[in-house]
Structure 1
């Protein structure tokens, strides 16, 4: 029997990520498609594989504690785990004594596009942004447009203008420039981009805003659905079918390289669905499984809005967790508000710096029929809510639906009012949270925008858990870096992964233990999409999806840890160089 000594490595089961498959949105990524391949794979041995002499993290059932084992056996023929326990057990000793060899096979869209966009995440002010774009434009004269990502709102302090992105091109060119905010809720365009979009005569879409100057002309920034429903579809239309497939492949490669074995997609739409289906038709299946939420926007009429829900129901009828575990529609996604840094998060009290209040994108009257129709059809409801007013809207809406067994969920929950914290557990609402957003280095404007008092109870993860809310921990790509180990570090230390020298903490009273954070990222995420009966735990009979991590079991050491291998259904599909 093939056996494998894993030394001091730790094994985590089924790391998950909220990763929307937008073919035109990008992430900061250092892995290229050529580094990995899912198709150039030697046919694996059908003999079981033993991994031992390490720490096997076992996220146990809700009735039992988390613990460590020292050995695990993977059956490649079934893709299942056949043993988890002590390597001195007679069964394991006998298995390891059998003939075999160490298995050394090196196997191995949104995300792929990151390789084609300029990352501005580290640029601290307007001049640095302009200089970076100027250099990038000179280096890429062949590009029809200059596409950027990672613009951090505090770096420009809300004073962005199209003219600031004009004149950065070379050789007399005036190419369109598109800059996505790091939170992906706004796009900043130069004059050429505004002109080619033809936004001057457009009305603000429901749930969005085209920023305008005192003369009534677009000034350069497209907020919320003005970005997602105008800018992004336009750029999508400029991609070839081949480019879309390249983006799919690069995204999948990137996910397994950091230890994800499944994806909960929170922004599925027609173009993304078609691209992924084409990939499946070509290669047979996806290398990791995808549970997708169909994105539903407020439209000009209730009928148009509900048509989106009906489309999700149609797809769910054919592609669901019972008929297509590897790739299915699990629910719908509602965006209730924006983000704090752009001052588009919906708050119950005004922003501290300008005394302005922002309302949620949906009214309760518009939201109710959407939630009722989705729930009645067996769809899971996921709701983006960051500001406390949006969070209250989401909780009230799900309370009216009245179906705790639906495992409906609220994403982010960044500024939850204290009185609403216990309501999640009482109503069976999953708290789906992304620790990367509480990195202190990314919150430099929050005290000015919200005031010290409100900042004192943001991101209350431990309080959610204490009051019985199911916790699911993930990333928020492409709005933020998606390395799960850095995510775990922030969740447990409440310190910065971007600035390792900083000792600043974000509401440390709400920190999770390392075991609780890993369990929320594995078992909790699997449970959140009804997959806990097959993945999310290293358990006999469960799918052999796991990641080997070189690390010490210490939250303080997580930033030095690295993913060494990713295994899916008993096959090693990624190994670090």
Structure 2
């Protein structure tokens, strides 16, 4: 009996095999890619899984997503569609109506512009639900939260606090007390211990549901630049004790400014640990925060006079930790939003001794052209999120990001084409739950430079990617961005495949999000197979 099987379609997209229509799989690996008739002669008894007229690509990979932590953040009311203060109040009241009177009320995805004021405060929470309700809202960028006064009291926070990463427990501008705005992760960590969390089993079930949805959208893997959830390992082990993760997870824990040498060594020692479809690999660092929150590191101040510092009070400590990780063979991912932050990170990484370790910079929302060229010349890699441009910036500059930067700097962001022109390996990702995880929508937005489901002006259309470039950013360029191989349908790679009803390269980007994913395979096993529906 043969140990090989074929997956046959109308076409296979692979740079290593032209005019192919079939992938041969043996023991979870790609054994061959070519024409069905020729492969059939070599293995006449191999079973065939057929998808007539479909298109097979390498398995799609989200280069930057937070599926486990994202579920912790995306609890309760989805506030992302709220445009006004009245919308927020109504959404919170509707959520509270489904709960007991003593239950916490959660929300997520809230845009600060919906407050209709320049100051972020919890006043609307009190107006919506009274002064005694426990309320926790994750803001849209995941770098801050908005909590009610009872939550602050429960966490024993009554005075403003400044934290090591440039954020803190924010005071009202008039000095009358705390605003409820909890800015950046060190401040969030002062509140989280009092926030109730569900059981491991409940979280595991939600994660399987989420990852199944990702697989149904064509994803076979996600690169997860965090290990924040308190129950992370327990959740993953629970899933694998009772079944299988629908997609792979490459998890990179954080190296933070408060860490010392022994903490960094623990990150090194953690590398390679994991389960069947998840592992700890790589380390994530932050050099700055967000433009919207006033914590990005810019070369010049924003319109509020802010965004002038790194997360690290001594950025050289960042450089020391990165060097330690580098010399121990650990690839790093650094969150860098502002132009000065990107410049510092690029120069720091380029100065490391060459030892084959690949380091990546993520987000790069605003970056100088000379730095883009420098990144290319020094063979650094990047991961960007095209939908952050299309969803959170406005062509007329009405969004918080554009107002913070001010003209003309707010016309210098989201340079996806410039990276490719500089020869940079550019991976793509969603940053879920900040934006939707469906790669079809993100590949579409990368081409359109406006949201695929809205009729608005494009934002810097000269920075648009082609469909083929965007597809490469979701396949082979993701592992390459961290020094790995894979996702190119080359013989010997894991048999991770995505089967499309139509060729994404030849589809109008407006229609691309509606193209059906017929199947996804991980290790040659069908995770999704619509033929069985």
TM-score of the two chains, using structure 1 as the length reference: 0.80
Matched with 1:140 is: 99
Residue 280 of structure 1: how far off its partner (Å): 5.7
2:113 is aligned to 154
Matched with 2:54 is none
What's the RMSD between the two structures over aligned residues? Answer: 2.9
The answer on whether the counterparts of 2:426 and 2:473 sit within 8 Å (CA) in structure 1 is yes
SS at structure 1 position matched to 2:518? strand
Deviation at 1:254, TM superposition (A): 2.6
Mapped to 2, the partners of 1:482 and 1:125 lie a distance apart of 25
Correspondent of 2:147 among 174, 184, 189: 189
How far is the alpha carbon of 1:281 from its aligned partner? 5.3
Match of 1:12 in 2: none
**Which of the numbers 351, 355, 358 marks the counterpart of 2:308?**
358
Residues 574 and 448 from structure 1, CA distance in 2 versus in 1: closer, same or farther, beyond 3 angstroms?
same
1:190 offset after TM fit, Å? 1.3
Q: Secondary structure at the match of 1:406?
A: coil
Flag the 1:348–1:188 CA change in 2: closer, same or farther, 3 A: same
Pair 1:386-2:337 in alignment: yes
Could you tell me how far 1:147 is from its partner in structure 2?
0.9
**Does the residue aligned with 2:341 lie in a helix, a strand or coil?**
helix
1:131-178 Cα offsets, whole Å, 9 max, x none, are 110111012227721111010122224322223211433xx8932111
Q: Against the structure 1 CA distance between its residues 46 and 96, is the aligned structure 2 distance closer, same or farther, given a 3 Å change threshold?
A: closer
Q: 2:266 matched to 1:311?
A: yes
Could you say which residue in structure 2 is the equivalent of 1:333? 284
- Could you tell me how far 1:484 is from its partner in structure 2? 0.5
Report the CA distance between 1:342 and its aligned residue: 2.4
Q: Is 1:563 equivalent to 2:517 in the alignment? A: yes
Pair 1:452-2:407 in alignment: yes
Identify the structure with bigger relative contact order (alpha carbons < 8 Å, sequence gap 6+): 1
> Can you list the C-alpha shifts for 1:115-143, whole angstroms capped at 9, x where unaligned?
74210111001110111101110122277
In structure 2, the partner of 1:179 is 137
Aligned CA distance change for structure 1 residues 550 and 141 (closer, same or farther; 3 Å): farther
Distance in 1 (CA, whole Å) between partners of 2:131 and 2:409 is 47
DSSP 3-state at the match of 1:500: coil
SS of the equivalent of 2:158 reads helix
Q: Distance in 2 between matches of 1:101 and 1:418?
A: 48
Contact 2:6 2:46 in 1 (8 A): no
* Counterpart for residue 61 of structure 2: none
Residue 495 of structure 1 is matched in structure 2 by 450
Distance 1:223 1:83, change over 3 A: same
TM-fit CA distance, 1:48: 1.0
User: In 2 relative to 1, CA 371–94 (structure 1 residues): closer, same or farther, beyond 3 Å?
Assistant: closer
Q: Following superposition of structure 1 onto structure 2, how do residues 20-31 of structure 1 map, counting pairs within 5 Å? A: none
| CA distance in 2 between partners of 1:307 and 1:99 (Å) | 53
Q: Name the residue aligned to 1:26.
A: none
Shift in CA distance, 417/404, structure 1 to aligned 2, threshold 3 Å: farther
Q: Shift in Å at residue 182 of structure 1?
A: 1.0
Pair 227,246 (structure 1): closer, same or farther in 2 beyond 3 Å: farther
Q: Which residue, out of 13, 17, 22, partners 1:57?
A: 13
The DSSP-based 3-state class of the residue aligned with 1:200 is coil
SS in 2 for 1:82: strand
1:463 paired residue number: 418
Return the alpha-carbon distance in structure 2 between the equivalents of residues 201 and 173 of structure 1.
Answer: 18
Residues 313 and 280 of structure 1: is their aligned pair in 2 closer, same or farther, counting only changes over 3 Å? farther
Which position in structure 2 is the counterpart of 1:48?
5
Query: 1-side partners of 2:466 and 2:427: how far apart?
Result: 14
Q: Within the alignment, does 1:215 sit opposite 2:172 as a pair?
A: no
Deviations 1:209-230 (A, max 9, x none): 2110243632110011244422
2:25 is the alignment partner of 1:72: no
CA shift, 1:114, in A, is 7.1
Give the Å deviation of 1:347: 1.2
Shift of 1:315: 0.9
SS in 2 for 1:219: strand
* Cα shift readout 1:540-571 (whole Å, capped 9, x = no counterpart): 33222111123352252323323222111222
The answer to whether the 8 A contact 1:130-1:165 is kept is yes
Alpha-carbon separation, structure 2, partners of 1:517 and 1:48: 30
Aligned residue in 2 for 1:168: 128
Deviations 1:302-323 (CA, angstroms, capped at 9, x unpaired): xx4434322211111x538xxx
Q: Is the Cα contact below 8 Å between 1:549 and 1:565 reproduced in 2? A: yes
Distance 1:369 1:291 in 2: 24
Which segment is superposed worse, 444-453 or 420-429?
Answer: 444-453
Structure 1, residues 241-293: CA drift from partner, whole Å, max 9, x if none? 22332233233223212211112110114735422452365147534322221
The alignment partner of 1:271 has SS state of: coil
TM-score (norm 2): 0.86
CA contact (8 A) 1:248 1:275 kept: no
In structure 2, distance between residues paired with 1:459 and 1:325 = 36
Structure 2 residue runs without a partner (length 5+): 52-67
Q: What residue is the counterpart of 2:208 in the other structure? A: 249
1:178/1:188 contact within 8 Å kept: yes
Contact 1:432 1:472 in 2 (8 A): yes
Deviation at 1:492, TM superposition (A): 1.7
**Aligned CA distance change for structure 1 residues 416 and 46 (closer, same or farther; 3 Å):** same
Q: Are 2:297 and 2:340, in contact at CA under 8 Å, matched by a contact in 1? A: yes
